[in-house]
Structure 1
Amino acid sequence: MTYDVLTMGRISVDIYPNDIGVGLADVTSFGKYLGGSPSNVAVAAARHGRTTAVITRTGDDPFGTYLHRELAKFGVDDRFVAPVPGLQTPATFCAIIPATHEFPLYFYGRFPTAPDLQIKAEELDLAAIRDARIFWSTVTGLCQEPSRSAHIAAHEARPRAELAEGQFTVLDLDYRPMFWDSEDAAREQVARVLPHVTVAIGNEEECAVAVGHGTPDEQADRLLAAGVEIAVVKLGPEGVMAKTRTERVVSAPVPVETLNGLGAGDSFGGAFCHGLLAGWPLAQVLDYANASGAIVASRLSCADAMPTPAEVTSLLSERGRLVPEAVAQ
């Protein structure tokens, strides 16, 4: 099977409070959800009608069973998801304090390692990776062996010069310092895979880890110089910029009342993949992805909150933004 979007990397159980506006010490009840950025991106793309799968690992425990059920519920193929004996499925807790726009995360079951960092190169279905229209991975997957070698092998299976028209290799610059010894260590590993990457996505801090500090335009130019074809730099309250060798586009934010800022980037990613595969102009891809991310920011959960095309186009229309044809192609 050829997937529209095949992602690789983290999966976890998100444990989010039902009590909003208080710290974790004062929360009295929680809900559980599928989590982990690459897994969320696969869910988001599936919501837009794309065939998706995720390459990851869970613990051999009830939470692992739960994640398989959730992937199936969202229409994400779980054939590349397997348990790792002796390890527990990670759980991620957060507090939701909308008034301060603070959503602190607490990772459990990821140290000294996690099941999804135990993906091995020899276990990969390289044909599925090579054939996928979009292959999506994150910098976090490069932080530790054997995941690092597996991610490098996956990227090497997709030489940029051999990609067909309409194929993209996306690197989410998703840098989380608690998983790395230093920024220099992360930059070294990013440099190893950038020659295979056609699209890089990150905020200014993540781009600084990947290619050094500078203005967003300077960072985008460095990514392009490394061989990337589309550099996407998230500008926070100023929106998102995307740059190619011939085009520079900025998409202004889509205002919403933020409830939980976590997961908005993953929703952006899944919608961005959808727009790329639909062949829309870059400005429309950015606007659509921006609106998709904004919708999730206005909701409590991540995977369960991913919007449908109708919801995204409705928000764009309400805000007076250009509405692309949101039909999978």
Structure 2
Amino acid sequence: MTGGARCRSHEASLTRKGATVNGVTVSESIDPLAALRTPDDPPYDVYLTGTVFLDIIFTGLDHAPVRGTESWARGMGSAPGGIANMATALARLGLRTALAAPFGTDLYGDYCWDALATGEGIDLGPSRRVPGWHSPVTVSMAYEGERTMVTHEHHAPPAAGTAPPASRACVVAFEPGRQEDWVRRAHAAGSKVFADVGWDDTGRWDTAALADLPYCHAFLPNATEAQRYTRTDSPEQAVRALAERVPIAVVTKGAEGAVAIDSITGESADVPGLPVDALDPTGAGDVFIAGFMTGTLAGWPLADRLAFANLTAALSVQHFGGSLAAPSWSDIACWWAERRGAEQARRYRFLAELLPAALSGTPCARAVPTIGFRGE
């Protein structure tokens, strides 16, 4: 980390939530924004919108499915996916999260609604139920550290109606050539826009096609996307080019970590990734963004924000599924308790100040849920 203004210390408070996550009551969490909260705050920390899928995940496959044969999986789970991956990651890190999404009135829609609203404590007030619309379903097969997916989806109706609710920040995935009216409204209302970007199928990779980029507070593409948009040869060159366009530029490098420049504070940082045995990369990018948003909204130094985002993403890929794998503060406390004396953990010494001694180091329970048992 170089330069920059004095940053806020890692102040947080332990809360007793009593929420049910994956059928298990979770009583402990951290409010990372506790030191910042005032009576005049907006009702939400983060607003996001998109499509929720019912994800059905098959695990324990020895190899890819072979044409004309039947493959047997040793494990299976189901959970909300799509935009629910990001919403769950944010909520589990203690941010007050509002989601606008269409939900079918079928069994799949009921299950996803209950899992997010009751299980994760996500506010679905901006969402709506759509009679007659079949909820999207994705079947994901995880093997050899990769995944193969099959999706069935009818055209999604609009996620929400008018202006987004007031929030500290919002999340958007840019699509080349597409502009989202709600992003401009959120920006005008003072919400900080955090964005990543999808693959450019046109092959043009023109930043002019990212119409909402001028409203962006932080832009977080991966290395391939960043280098193509900036016509550069390395993540380091790409992040410098992007920093001329947005206040905070972050380029993720997968297992190699991430590099970033915060033009607001004058900081720059390049933090290596954490070596882990990855089982399933589903949702890792969403979890990284959630971790970085948490640190940014809390006012942490840039290097700590990147390290925390790397950690949350690394914890997520060690489990199967998207929203299922998003880490809780208990997962983070468990990791820190096991490694705080190790050389690898020196970069994470800020966790000692952040994690209250009262927070148990018991990992978040991940009993594999299934829609079939929802009424029991």
Q: TM-score range by the shorter chain?
A: 0.7 to 0.9
Aligned equivalents of 2:206, 2:79: Cα separation in 1 = 29
**Partner SS state of residue 76, structure 1:** coil
User: Counterparts in 2 of 1:85-234, with a 5 A limit?
Assistant: 85-98=131-144, 101-109=145-153, 113-115=155-157, 118-119=158-159, 123-126=161-164, 128=165, 131-140=166-175, 148=178, 152-159=180-187, 163=190, 168-173=192-197, 175-176=198-199, 182-184=202-204, 187-190=207-210, 192-208=211-227, 210-226=229-245, 228-234=246-252
Q: CA deviation at 1:296?
A: 0.9
Kindly indicate whether residue 282 of structure 2 is the aligned counterpart of residue 238 of structure 1. Answer: no
Indicate if the aligned counterparts of 1:291 and 1:315 stay in contact, CA closer than 8 A.
no
Once the two structures are aligned, what percentage of the paired residues are identical? 25
Aligned to 2:350: 323
Aligned equivalents of 1:316, 1:124: Cα separation in 2 = 43
Aligned to 2:98, which of 50, 53, 70?
53
Aligned equivalents of 2:240, 2:228: Cα separation in 1 = 15
TM-score, length basis structure 1: 0.81
User: How many aligned residue pairs are there?
Assistant: 299
Q: CA deviation at 1:3?
A: 0.6
Indicate how the Cα distance of structure 1 residues 193 and 47 shifts in structure 2: closer, same or farther if over 3 A, else same.
same
User: Counterparts in 2 of 1:276-291, with a 5 A limit?
Assistant: 276-291=296-311
Aligned to 1:8: 49
Indicate how the Cα distance of structure 1 residues 302 and 326 shifts in structure 2: closer, same or farther if over 3 A, else same.
farther
Q: CA deviation at 1:24?
A: 4.3
Aligned equivalents of 2:139, 2:128: Cα separation in 1 = 23
Aligned to 2:8: none
Q: CA deviation at 1:266?
A: 1.6
**Partner SS state of residue 86, structure 2:** helix
Higher helix proportion (structure 1 or 2): 1
Deviation string, structure 1 residues 143-166 (Cα, Å, up to 9, x no partner): 7xxxx55xx211211347x63xxx
Aligned equivalents of 1:326, 1:271: Cα separation in 2 = 14
Aligned equivalents of 1:5, 1:258: Cα separation in 2 = 28
Aligned to 1:255: 275
Indicate if the aligned counterparts of 2:268 and 2:302 stay in contact, CA closer than 8 A.
no
Indicate if the aligned counterparts of 2:86 and 2:283 stay in contact, CA closer than 8 A.
no
Aligned equivalents of 2:167, 2:230: Cα separation in 1 = 27
**Partner SS state of residue 147, structure 2:** coil
**Partner SS state of residue 61, structure 2:** coil
User: Counterparts in 2 of 1:262-277, with a 5 A limit?
Assistant: 262-277=282-297
Q: CA deviation at 1:183?
A: 3.7
Aligned equivalents of 1:265, 1:41: Cα separation in 2 = 9
Indicate how the Cα distance of structure 1 residues 7 and 183 shifts in structure 2: closer, same or farther if over 3 A, else same.
farther
Counterpart code for 1:198: H
Counterpart code for 2:114: R
Aligned equivalents of 2:206, 2:329: Cα separation in 1 = 35
Aligned equivalents of 2:92, 2:62: Cα separation in 1 = 29
Q: CA deviation at 1:91?
A: 1.5
Indicate if the aligned counterparts of 1:211 and 1:219 stay in contact, CA closer than 8 A.
yes
Indicate if the aligned counterparts of 1:223 and 1:231 stay in contact, CA closer than 8 A.
yes
* Greater relative CO (CA pairs within 8 A, separation 6+): 2
Counterpart code for 1:109: E
Counterpart code for 2:48: T
Indicate how the Cα distance of structure 1 residues 22 and 33 shifts in structure 2: closer, same or farther if over 3 A, else same.
farther
Kindly indicate whether residue 79 of structure 2 is the aligned counterpart of residue 33 of structure 1. Answer: yes
Between structure 1 and structure 2, the one with the greater Rg is 2
Indicate how the Cα distance of structure 1 residues 210 and 185 shifts in structure 2: closer, same or farther if over 3 A, else same.
closer
Counterpart code for 1:272: F
Deviation string, structure 1 residues 189-235 (Cα, Å, up to 9, x no partner): 42x10000010112112324554454213322332222x11111111
Q: CA deviation at 1:304?
A: 2.1
Aligned to 1:21: 62
Q: CA deviation at 1:93?
A: 2.0
**Partner SS state of residue 296, structure 2:** helix
Aligned equivalents of 2:81, 2:256: Cα separation in 1 = 27
Aligned equivalents of 2:124, 2:229: Cα separation in 1 = 30
Kindly indicate whether residue 97 of structure 2 is the aligned counterpart of residue 69 of structure 1. Answer: no
Deviation string, structure 1 residues 94-152 (Cα, Å, up to 9, x no partner): 22113xx3223333216xx334xx346xx1333x1xx2111111125x77xxxx55xx2
Aligned equivalents of 2:185, 2:240: Cα separation in 1 = 26
Aligned equivalents of 1:136, 1:279: Cα separation in 2 = 18
